């Protein structure tokens, strides 16, 4: 296996571990600010690879880079009849929380003076902030990474600059070849003397700013002579070009053929185009909507993953991908023929998208996800606000442990989904190219 491929996997996993670590810091910092006693901060699962205790918290790294958690005292209130000094513990990590509850071994004795440091006794809005901190950190990371991508690196786009890969002959779309034959007709571009690196700036007096502009103007003009404005080596010049009529695939729908459109015969050059900070908000808003739609369609998407894994169907590029699949993408990126800047751009985009997806997935209002705890805190706030308005006694703390059966069911489904994704990512991976 290519060492660049392995290096790409390692780099992505490191980036993922950093994202997980910062997600848990998003929980840890507000928990400590609000006085909750945090006994553990762990990145990863399984056996502990390294740990160190600082104050009352043990900080560590575990061997399996599949998540992380912080352990807070008294995340769940005592059951009716329990010793009030005995509290059931849980964790922000979904699988770790399931294990703790399943074993019923997470009861932890409250030390003297810790009675007000348990999670369940905190104000409802403090609970919401603590549990929202993880997803919020993912959104902040996604925004920072998308800013680096759009503002600092740029997105790949086609510019109206003649590419060196441009053919000098007209190849019918019915023939699957790229090499010219002696019998092929020269393109209007080659006859007019266009060269690689020439920038198209106008056609028949109409301004060209993007490759889409050039395509639209050329096709709509049809056959005939036209004045083409170009910039060559920094010098503007005008060429007279005789466009011809050709059948060409539609730019936004290659399966649809447009008949007798104007044809020049040039290919664009791919460049990295930077954008403003304001564009980052629009970019994230668009992706957030797409991720939200994907989450709503997750059951249907997982059916597609099943067919891809066991029937060999093509993976949906908009479908879910697991850590294994994303790691493979990281390897493909580094081992690809892209330039260094293009590799960096794709890598940053992949990690930013992963953070956005993790943040939104964790906001689903079901346990053991962060969104389930957030929903519990909001419900407690509604109950207490209603009681205050109606001048009724303050209600008890919301006991989210009552929905543990649903938690078990959802956790089981999540484990099955994770296993299916791992299998599909190994057998029929979603690739960046091809």
Q: Measured between alpha carbons, how far is 6 from 26 in angstroms, rounded to an integer? A: 30
- Based on the residue annotation, tell me whether 179 is a catalytic residue of this protein: no
C-alpha to C-alpha distance for 353 and 359, rounded to whole angstroms: 10
Tell me how far apart the alpha carbons of residues 349 and 144 are, in angstroms, rounded to a whole number.
Answer: 11
Please name every residue paired with 159 in a beta bridge, in sequence order, or none if there are none.
269
SS3 of residue 118 by DSSP:
coil
d(CA 213, CA 203): 10
Contacts of 126 (CB under 8 A, 6+ apart): 30, 34
CB 247 within 8 A of CB 258: yes
Contacts (Cβ under 8 Å, ≥6 apart) of 145: 348, 349, 351, 352, 355
Distance CA 330, CA 333 (A): 5
State the DSSP H helix or E strand holding residue 3, giving kind and residue range, or none if neither.
Answer: helix 3-33
How far apart, in Å, are the Cα atoms of 372 and each of 102, 127, 213, 361, 400? 18, 11, 49, 11, 8
The residue annotated as part of the active site, out of 24, 104, 258, 313, is: 24
Active site residues: 24
């Amino acid at each position: 296996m290519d060492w660049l491929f392995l290096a790409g996997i390692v780099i992505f996993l490191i980036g993922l571990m950093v994202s997980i670590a910062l997600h848990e810091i998003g929980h840890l910092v507000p928990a400590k600010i609000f006085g909750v006693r945090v006994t553990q901060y762990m990145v990863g699962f399984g056996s502990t690879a390294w740990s160190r205790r600082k104050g009352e918290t043990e900080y560590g790294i575990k061997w399996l880079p599949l998540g992380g958690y912080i352990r807070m005292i008294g995340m769940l209130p005592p059951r009716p009849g329990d010793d009030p000094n005995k509290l059931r513990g849980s964790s922000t990590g979904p699988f770790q929380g399931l294990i703790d509850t399943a074993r019923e071994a997470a009861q932890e004795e409250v030390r003297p003076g810790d009675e007000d440091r348990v999670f369940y006794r905190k104000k409802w809005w403090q609970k919401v902030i603590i549990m929202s901190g993880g997803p919020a950190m993912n959104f902040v990371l996604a925004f920072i990474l998308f800013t680096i991508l759009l503002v600092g690196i740029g997105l790949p786009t086609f510019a109206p600059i003649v590419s060196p890969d441009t053919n000098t002959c007209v190849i019918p779309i019915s023939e699957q070849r790229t090499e010219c034959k002696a019998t092929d007709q020269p393109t209007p571009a080659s006859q007019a003397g266009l060269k690689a690196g020439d920038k198209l700036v106008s056609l028949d007096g109409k301004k060209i700013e993007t490759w889409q502009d050039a395509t639209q103007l050329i096709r709509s003009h049809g056959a005939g002579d036209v004045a083409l404005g170009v910039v060559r080596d920094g010098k503007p010049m005008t060429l007279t070009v005789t466009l011809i009529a050709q059948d060409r695939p539609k730019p936004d729908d290659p399966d649809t053929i447009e008949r007798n459109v104007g044809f020049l015969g040039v290919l664009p050059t791919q460049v990295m185009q930077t954008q403003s900070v304001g564009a980052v908000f629009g970019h994230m808003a668009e992706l957030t909507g797409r991720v939200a739609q994907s989450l709503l369609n997750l059951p249907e998407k997982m059916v597609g993953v099943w067919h891809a894994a066991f029937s060999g169907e093509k993976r949906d590029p908009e479908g879910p991908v697991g850590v294994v699949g994303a790691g493979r993408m990281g390897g493909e990126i580094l081992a690809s023929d892209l330039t260094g800047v293009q590799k960096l751009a794709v890598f940053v985009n992949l990690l930013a998208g992963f953070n956005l997806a993790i943040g939104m997935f964790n906001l689903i209002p079901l346990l053991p996800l962060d969104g389930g705890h957030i929903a519990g805190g909001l419900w407690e706030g509604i109950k207490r606000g209603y009681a205050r308005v109606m001048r009724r006694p303050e209600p008890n703390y919301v006991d989210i442990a009552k929905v543990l059966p649903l938690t078990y069911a959802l956790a089981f489904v999540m484990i099955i989904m994770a296993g299916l994704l791992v299998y599909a990512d190994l057998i029929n991976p979603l690739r960046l190219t091809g």
